[in-house]
Amino acid sequence: MGTIEENYQVKYTNKWGSLLQQHTSRLEQYVTVERGLSGKIAFFDQFGVLDFDEKSERVQATSLKEAPTYRRSMRPRIFTKAIGFDEYDHKKLGDLDAPVSKAIEGLQSAAGRTMDKVILEAFNGINYVGEDGLTTLSFPVAQTIAVNYSETGAADNTNLTVEKLRATLRLFEENEAWSQDSHRMGDELVMAVTSAQIMSLLRSTEVSSYDFNNVKALAEGKIDTFMGFKFIRTQLLPTNMAKHRYAMAWVKSKAQFGIWDDFKVRISIRDDMEETLQIRAKFACGATRLQEEGFVRILCDESK
């Protein structure tokens, strides 16, 4: 004769949950997007800056100059992922349905995160310029705020500070990448930061009570703008060799994102794999800086 305890059973839920993850692209709406691109390279041609020559003689010969033009190139990065379910999975799972909808949802979330990585890697890394689009161009040192930057000249490493934000804004203004008229003309000043960098702003002893209240609201998600920057939180920002994390700021009109093929999902039955249900997703995209002066990266020591 057995006991009641020997008949205890394990009961499972009949629904699939999802692990914590970023579900959509957070950066796509804060860059300039061009869809429907084709070819192995897409070119973006730009007209340069003109200035005047002062006339020094009467009836002097006309000096004819070439119009200054510049060219940026962008290459597509192609991403695919296929998920399979055996023809008998739905039988063996019993009351638990095969997670087809969860797989599609997960692929869409992964696509959003991957697009953000493509954007950040292009903005932070090597770009391509020139007539043939093959000349490499690294991120300029002059557009980088040092990890130990301080208005007082102190040499200690810091995380994100208001001083670094002021230095970033000054660079944009001195380079004429941003002005009082930019926002009125539909442009936007964007800054991608991590949670640790926002929290560092809250701890900054030099923040006034007005600034502190605004940064606190920023950290709590009540506002998303501070010192003229539209703040976007992302945990995908890269680090340098010393493991210092970059915060990345840019002017929207100078940040180009291109899509060769939008995110698509196809569901099919694979007869070559004994009627396995295949869920395959794909997309192709690329990104580039259009002008270095429209970008500033800020090195942050997140251990501070």
DSSP codes, 243-256: -PEEEEEEEGGGEE
User: What pLDDT is attached to residue 16?
Assistant: 43
For residues 193 and 138, give the distance between their C-alpha atoms in angstroms, rounded to a whole number: 21
- Structure tokens that stand for 169 in this block: 């804004």
Backbone phi and psi for residue 177, each to the nearest 5 degrees, phi listed first: -80, -20
Q: Is 91 inside a domain boundary? A: yes
User: What would the pLDDT profile of 50-87 be if each residue is shown by its tens digit?
Assistant: 788 888 888 888 888 888 778 999 999 999 999 998 88
Q: Is 241 inside a domain boundary? A: yes
88 DSSP 8-state letter: T
6 three-state secondary structure: helix
For residues 32 and 287, give the distance between their C-alpha atoms in angstroms, rounded to a whole number: 10
Q: Is 207 inside a domain boundary? A: yes
For residues 247 and 123, give the distance between their C-alpha atoms in angstroms, rounded to a whole number: 11
Using the predicted structure, report yes or no on whether residue 256 has a pLDDT greater than 60.
Answer: yes
Q: Is 4 inside a domain boundary? A: no
What is the mean predicted confidence (pLDDT) over 161-170? 94
Using the predicted structure, report yes or no on whether residue 14 has a pLDDT greater than 60.
Answer: no
Within 8 A by CB and 6+ apart from 31, the residues are 119, 190, 250, 252, 255, 256, 257, 287
- Give CA 156 to chain center in angstroms: 28
- Structure tokens that stand for 180 in this block: 């009082």
User: What pLDDT is attached to residue 281?
Assistant: 93
Q: Assess contact for 220 and 180: CB atoms under 8 A.
A: no
User: What pLDDT is attached to residue 69?
Assistant: 78
User: What would the pLDDT profile of 83-134 be if each residue is shown by its tens digit?
Assistant: 998 888 877 766 656 778 888 888 999 999 999 999 999 999 999 999 898 9
Q: Is 56 inside a domain boundary? A: no
What is the mean predicted confidence (pLDDT) over 17-41? 82
For residues 88 and 275, give the distance between their C-alpha atoms in angstroms, rounded to a whole number: 9
CATH code for position 290: 3.90.1690
The structural domain count of the chain equals 1
For residues 6 and 55, give the distance between their C-alpha atoms in angstroms, rounded to a whole number: 103
For residues 229 and 121, give the distance between their C-alpha atoms in angstroms, rounded to a whole number: 21
What is the mean predicted confidence (pLDDT) over 137-144? 96
pTM: 0.86
Q: Is 5 inside a domain boundary? A: no
Give the count of beta carbons closer than 10 Å to the beta carbon of residue 293: 19
User: What would the pLDDT profile of 184-239 be if each residue is shown by its tens digit?
Assistant: 678 999 999 999 999 898 887 555 666 777 778 887 877 788 888 999 999 999 99
Question: pLDDT confidence of 8, banded at 50, 70, 90?
Answer: very low
Lowest-confidence pick of 20-29, 56-65, 269-278: 20-29
Using the predicted structure, report yes or no on whether residue 13 has a pLDDT greater than 50.
Answer: no
Q: Is 10 inside a domain boundary? A: no
Q: Assess contact for 16 and 260: CB atoms under 8 A.
A: no
Q: Is 33 inside a domain boundary? A: yes
Q: What is the extent of the structural domain holding 108? A: 22-47+68-304
